[in-house]
């Protein structure tokens, strides 16, 4: 059994899509074992996305992620990392498959509604960034 870190981004929380997005995760067999709504500071968002600091869109990404509340959550299931990324769809909604979260809800490549960890090591780090062990209820 595997765990991954998911973020419902500001474009989605703003449009009251948290429940619809969570239904997609649960329908795919992913269990939400931790969840909280927070408003990231620019410094916190910058730290979370530090791996992208040299990319041209870094400033825009950090500003967006700190603009309004997000819902951070831990999803658990068989192959949770890959399964979550499948449910999310491609980064750019124009390239996302039908039925995926980004195809249905994302506004643009930047405002793309969800984040999901991309590998076991990053999942571990990203979960620890937001949650203590006591908050994970499997």
- Looking at the annotation, which residues are catalytic? 115
> 58-97: which residues touch ligand GTP (CB under 6 A)?
60-61, 91
> H or E element: which one contains 65?
helix 58-65
34 binds ligand GTP (CB under 6 A): no
* Contact (Cβ atoms closer than 8 angstroms) between residue 71 and residue 130: no
Strands 2-8, 70-77: pairing is: antiparallel
Q: Yes or no: say if 125 and 17 are a contact pair by the CB < 8 Å rule.
A: no
Q: Closer to Mg ion at the Cβ: 24 or 115?
A: 115
To the question of whether residue 9 is assigned a binding role by annotation, the answer is yes
Residue whose beta carbon is closest to ligand GTP: 110
> Binding site membership for ATP: which residues?
9, 57, 85, 91, 102, 112
Residues that bind Mg ion (CB under 5 A): 118
């Amino acid at each position: 059994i595997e765990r991954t870190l998911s973020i419902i981004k500001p474009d989605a929380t703003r449009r009251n899509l948290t429940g619809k997005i969570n239904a997609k995760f649960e329908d795919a067999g992913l269990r939400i074992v931790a969840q909280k709504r927070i408003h990231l500071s620019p410094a916190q968002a910058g730290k979370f996305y530090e791996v992208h600091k040299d990319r041209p869109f870094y400033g825009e990404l950090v500003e967006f992620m700190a603009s309004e509340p997000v819902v951070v959550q831990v999803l658990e299931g068989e192959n949770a990392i890959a399964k979550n990324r499948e449910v999310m769809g491609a980064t750019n909604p124009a390239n996302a498959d039908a039925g995926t979260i980004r195809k249905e809800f994302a506004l643009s490549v930047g405002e793309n509604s969800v984040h999901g960890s991309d590998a076991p090591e990053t999942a571990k780090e990203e979960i620890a960034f937001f949650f203590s062990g006591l908050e994970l209820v499997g």
